[in-house]
Amino acid sequence: MAVKLAVIGGGPGGYVAAIRAASLGADVTIIEKENFGGTCLNWGCIPSKIMKNSADLYNKLKKSASLGITITGELSFDMDALMERKNKVLESQRKGIESLLQGHQINIEKGRAKIVSPGHIDVADTATGKSIGVDYDHLIIATGTEPLNVSDFPFDHERILSSNDILEIDSVPESIVIIGGGVIGCEFAFIFASLGSQVTVVEALSRLLPLPAVDESCSKILLREMKKAKIKVICDTVVTGAVQNGDQLDITIDDSPFTDNPRPKKAGERQITGSKMAVCIGRSPLSVDLGLETIGVETDDRGWIKVNENLQTNIENVWAIGDILGPSRVMLAHVASHEGIIAAENILGQKKEMNYDVIPGAIFTMPEIGTVGLSESEALKKCMDIECFSVNFRTLGKAQAIDEIAGEVKVIVNKADRTLLGVHMIGPHATDLIAEATLAIQQKVTVEQIAHTIHAHPTLAEIMGEVALKASGSAIHG
């Protein structure tokens, strides 16, 4: 008899786990309370990239004269049209996922899931309130997260916005203050600055993108590019409150108690203003009201589900994947998908462990950032004997041709065996270019091997060849 698997959550972790398990012979039921695709498709990766694509094009059109293109008439931005396109793309993608699930004979249940006893889930239709039962031999929890709501300045969804609200905004704000200089905050900062907003970013730590996986060199270049885009950045600072004053928000900021800067500038409590404020400082787990306590699944004090290296919880037949595992793992859509595959294969009798050592990161700022492996500071903390080399994108003919010369690639090299330990790119199409570096680190390729790999000309991919030549002592253009 086939293993009965229930998957709660139809995001990039859940639906991939369901498909992989079904392909291995399981009888799979997937439960989704809203739309398939999870945060990534509906409230994150995809809609924000649709907005970025339009912002990129708008930027290029504004400087069309320098590229030999004359535009007559007024250039303007239509947010309604952008949102209409966004919604069409998302609906198409949702239908695509549902079609994939149906093609694998996966049972689909729409509604809110609650574990009522070991091996049994109730699914309540959110519209009618009617419930059906789903039995399982194994359960995968992939419920994800929602934007963190801060009690000092709670979302009102009109002026104080969550990252979800931003993706449904109906006009370009005259000014916007973005709380949080992490991935989401930095991406939206460039989008709105491109569309004409006066943007201020407030970050509690000492640099933009204060993530261990992002090398400080990328943060420095990103700050420079924000200044060029007239984005104001205030680091070592927190927001303590916001009050509406007519058509503006009076936003109180103060010195950050969380800063990692050993000598931060002390400015004290003060005010800034903005017509909107976007809160982009974290996520909360969607683990409440699932009935985890009914079967004894362990979570930490914030509600993140604990799992072992096989993605198994403390309950033998219950597994968890994706963002519900929290920041102690890696909260990225492509990681959730791989976790889904690992969990499904383990349920069906294989023995797999999830490896987080070589995971590419993609940040869609302007310019983009791609990272994989160790940063320089991480390598030094591990007392590794390393060398670092960098090459600017402006050395490439393709970068000059497309008028996107900002940025660099930096590599961290193991002195002992000449293999790559980390690659950090900021520049045009860095999120695509990082794939070569990911494979190189995964396969323990040396810089000499990359240097002797012919890269087509003129392409942006030549940047890896150039930095590898430099690292191997044979620099040409770098």
CATH of the domain at 413: 3.30.390.30
Asked if residue 259 and residue 175 are part of one domain, the reply reads yes
Given this model, what pLDDT does residue 192 score? 98
Quick one: average pLDDT of 16-45? 97
Number of domains within the chain: 3
Quick one: average pLDDT of 256-285? 94
Q: Which domain holds residue 289?
A: 4-146+284-347
pLDDT grade for 402, boundaries at 50, 70 and 90:
very high
Quick one: average pLDDT of 30-36? 96
The rounded distance, in Å, linking the Cα atoms of 19 and 348 is 13
Asked if residue 403 and residue 383 are part of one domain, the reply reads yes
**Bridge partner list, 371:** 361, 424
Q: Residue 166 falls within a domain, yes or no? A: yes
Q: What is the pLDDT of residues 317-364, one digit of tens each?
A: 999 999 999 999 999 999 999 999 999 999 999 999 999 999 999 999
Quick one: average pLDDT of 233-258? 96
Quick one: average pLDDT of 416-434? 98
Given this model, what pLDDT does residue 188 score? 98
Given this model, what pLDDT does residue 255 score? 97
Asked if residue 26 and residue 134 are part of one domain, the reply reads yes
pLDDT grade for 32, boundaries at 50, 70 and 90:
very high
Asked if residue 141 and residue 37 are part of one domain, the reply reads yes
Kindly report the average pLDDT of the chain as a whole number: 96
Asked if residue 272 and residue 184 are part of one domain, the reply reads yes
pLDDT surpasses 80 at 129 = no
CATH of the domain at 218: 3.50.50.60
Residue type (1 letter), 271: Q
Beta carbons within 10 angstroms of residue 289's beta carbon = 9
Q: Which residue has the tokens 């519209």?
A: 127
pLDDT surpasses 90 at 127 = no
pLDDT grade for 281, boundaries at 50, 70 and 90:
very high
Q: Residue 264 falls within a domain, yes or no? A: yes
pLDDT surpasses 80 at 163 = yes
Q: Residue 476 falls within a domain, yes or no? A: no
Distance in Å from the first CA to the final CA of the chain: 61
Given this model, what pLDDT does residue 419 score? 97
Active site residue 157: no
Given this model, what pLDDT does residue 387 score? 97
Asked if residue 467 and residue 398 are part of one domain, the reply reads yes
- Token code pair at residue 9: 């959550």
Q: Residue 152 falls within a domain, yes or no? A: no
Q: What is the pLDDT of residues 85-123, one digit of tens each?
A: 999 999 999 999 999 999 999 999 999 999 999 999 999
Asked if residue 276 and residue 174 are part of one domain, the reply reads yes
Q: Residue 223 falls within a domain, yes or no? A: yes
Asked if residue 376 and residue 320 are part of one domain, the reply reads no
pLDDT grade for 128, boundaries at 50, 70 and 90:
confident
Asked if residue 131 and residue 36 are part of one domain, the reply reads yes
Q: How many CA atoms lie within 13 A of 103 on its CB side?
A: 9
Asked if residue 166 and residue 125 are part of one domain, the reply reads no
Given this model, what pLDDT does residue 59 score? 93
pLDDT grade for 18, boundaries at 50, 70 and 90:
very high
Given this model, what pLDDT does residue 291 score? 96
Given this model, what pLDDT does residue 325 score? 98
The rounded distance, in Å, linking the Cα atoms of 131 and 114 is 10
More confident residue, 455 or 126: 455
Quick one: average pLDDT of 232-241? 97
Given this model, what pLDDT does residue 73 score? 86
Given this model, what pLDDT does residue 74 score? 87
- Which of 334, 424, 429, 457 is flagged as catalytic? 457
The rounded distance, in Å, linking the Cα atoms of 331 and 313 is 18
- Give me Rg for the CA atoms of the chain: 24
Asked if residue 174 and residue 274 are part of one domain, the reply reads yes
pLDDT surpasses 80 at 445 = yes
Q: Residue 359 falls within a domain, yes or no? A: no
- Token code pair at residue 342: 């690992």
Asked if residue 134 and residue 14 are part of one domain, the reply reads yes
Quick one: average pLDDT of 241-248? 94
The rounded distance, in Å, linking the Cα atoms of 196 and 175 is 9
Q: Residue 23 falls within a domain, yes or no? A: yes
pLDDT surpasses 80 at 478 = no
Q: Which of 264, 281, 298 is the last residue of a domain?
A: 281
Q: Residue 318 falls within a domain, yes or no? A: yes
* Closest C-alpha to 59, from 396, 361, 392, 428: 428
Given this model, what pLDDT does residue 337 score? 98
More confident residue, 1 or 113: 113
